[in-house]
C-alpha cells in the first residue's frame, strides 16, 4: 500500500455512497485518504465490482489468516457485530487507521477500543472543508444519504446542517 494516509471503510457506508453519489468516494480517496476495504467486506457490496473499485481508488486487500481468525474469535464471543464488521475493526487497528462506518454498534465498539470513527456524513463535511464540494452539493448529498438509508435518522441531517454552517462561516 502507498505512503498516503489510509481509512478503512465498511460495507454499509460504501453502499450509502454508491446509492447517493459514488464519485464522492473517488474524491475522498484521491484527495483526503486512501480508502481500504477488506476483500471479505468488498464481497458483501453487490453494487461494487473490482473495476469500479479501481475507478473509485478503493484498495481491496485480502485479510491475513491471523486477521480472519481474530475477527472470527471476536464474532463468536461477542455477536453484537457481524464478522465483516469485526474484520473492518481489525484492519483499522492493524493499519492504525480511522474506520468510516454508519453502523452504530460498530462505531461504539471501535470507539471503546480506541479506533477513530468517521461517519458517512462526516466524509461529506471533510470534502466540503477541503473545497472539494460546494455547500449546495454537500447539502444535497447528505439529504440523499439520509433518505436512502432507513437506519440514518433525520436528526443526523439537522446536525450535519449545523456543522456545515460552522464550516461555511470560517
For position 1, what pLDDT does the model report?
Answer: 46
Quickly name the fold that domain 6-120 has.
Rossmann fold (3.40.50)
Residue 3 is predicted with a pLDDT of: 58
Place of cell 487507521: 97
Mean pLDDT of 137-149: 93
In this structure, what DSSP letter does residue 19 have? Answer: H
pLDDT digits (tens, 9 = 90+) for 18-68: 999 999 999 999 999 999 999 999 999 999 999 999 999 999 999 999 999
Give me the DSSP letters along 84-123: HHHHHHHHHHHHT--EE---HHHHHHHHHTT--EE-HHHH
| Pair 11, 101: CB distance under 8 Å | no
CA distance 29 to 125: 14
Q: What local confidence, expressed as pLDDT, does residue 141 receive? A: 96
Picking from 89, 18, 19, 85, the residue whose alpha carbon sits closest to that of residue 56 is: 18
Listed range (101-115, 134-148, 150-164) with the worst mean pLDDT: 150-164
Mean pLDDT for the chain overall? 93
Q: What does the alpha-carbon distance between residue 13 and residue 35 come to, in Å, rounded to a whole number?
A: 12
Domain boundaries, the chain: 6-120, 121-169
Amino acid at each position: 500500500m502507498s505512503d498516503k494516509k489510509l481509512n478503512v471503510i465498511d460495507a454499509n457506508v460504501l453502499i450509502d455512497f454508491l446509492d447517493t453519489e459514488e464519485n464522492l468516494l473517488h474524491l475522498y480517496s484521491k484527495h483526503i485518504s486512501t480508502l481500504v476495504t477488506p476483500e471479505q467486506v468488498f464481497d458483501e457490496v453487490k453494487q461494487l465490482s473490482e473495476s469500479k473499485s479501481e475507478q473509485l481508488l478503493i484498495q481491496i486487500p485480502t485479510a491475513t489468516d491471523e486477521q480472519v481468525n481474530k475477527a472470527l474469535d471476536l464474532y463468536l464471543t461477542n455477536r453484537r457485530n457481524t464478522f465483516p464488521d469485526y474484520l473492518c475493526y481489525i484492519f483499522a487497528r492493524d493499519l492504525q487507521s480511522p474506520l468510516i462506518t454508519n453502523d452504530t454498534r460498530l462505531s461504539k465498539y471501535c470507539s471503546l477500543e480506541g479506533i477513530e470513527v468517521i461517519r458517512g456524513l462526516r466524509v461529506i463535511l471533510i470534502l466540503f472543508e477541503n473545497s472539494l464540494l460546494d455547500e449546495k452539493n454537500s447539502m444535497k448529498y447528505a439529504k440523499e444519504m439520509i433518505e436512502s438509508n432507513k437506519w440514518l435518522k433525520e436528526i443526523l441531517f439537522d446536525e450535519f446542517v449545523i456543522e456545515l454552517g460552522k464550516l461555511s462561516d470560517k
